């Protein structure tokens, strides 16, 4: 039986006034690479791209999918949302066995928090 792996990030375009003016959002390349690499090596996985979504929709998705491992891309802009995501996961009974793995350029400061 394969593990339920989910990749996600904490960027919500709707919270980014500057980017809403420019409207040239970028795909989450890092997690897309990881996802395709794992898939190629027989680890099926899902991606929740939060860009056009909201925190509430993210919550509903997580509760429905119930990942066993969740990999979250973390950068300077998104780290507060990522902290919110982690604390949601860690305080939810349904997700109590879910392992959280962080990656991306802002992991070091997160280590100081935990």
Work out the number of other CB atoms within 10 angstroms of the CB of residue 32.
14
- Least CB distance to ligand B12 at residue 56 (A): 21
Does residue 23 belong to the site contacting ligand B12 (CB under 6 A)?
Answer: no
**Residue nearest ligand B12, CB atom distance:** 103
Query: For ligand B12, what does the binding mask look like between residues 70 and 109, x meaning CB under 6 A?
Result: -xxx-xxx-----------------------xxxxxx---
The pair phi, psi for residue 47, each rounded to 5°, is -125, 130
Listed in sequence order, the DSSP H helices in 2-106 are: 17-22, 29-40, 55-65, 79-90
Size of the site for ligand B12 (CB under 6 A): 20
Distance separating alpha carbons of residues 59 and 89, to the nearest angstrom: 9
Query: For ligand B12, what does the binding mask look like between residues 37 and 76, x meaning CB under 6 A?
Result: ----------------------------------xxx-xx
Q: Which phi-psi region, left, alpha or beta, contains residue 23 (left: φ > 0; alpha: ψ -120 to 50)? A: left
Name the site residues for ligand B12 (rule: CB under 6 A): 16, 19, 26, 29-31, 33-34, 71-73, 75-77, 101-106
């Amino acid at each position: 039986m394969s593990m339920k792996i989910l990749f996600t990030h904490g960027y919500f375009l709707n919270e980014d006034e500057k980017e809403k003016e420019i409207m040239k959002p970028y795909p989450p390349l890092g997690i897309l690479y990881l996802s395709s690499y794992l898939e190629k090596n027989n680890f099926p996985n899902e991606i929740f791209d939060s860009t056009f979504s909201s925190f509430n929709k993210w919550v509903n998705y997580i509760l429905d999918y119930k990942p066993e491992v969740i990999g979250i891309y973390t950068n300077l802009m998104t780290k507060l949302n990522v902290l919110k995501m982690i604390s949601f996961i860690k305080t939810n009974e349904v997700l109590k066995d879910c392992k959280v793995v962080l990656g991306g350029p802002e992991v070091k400061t997160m280590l100081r928090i935990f």
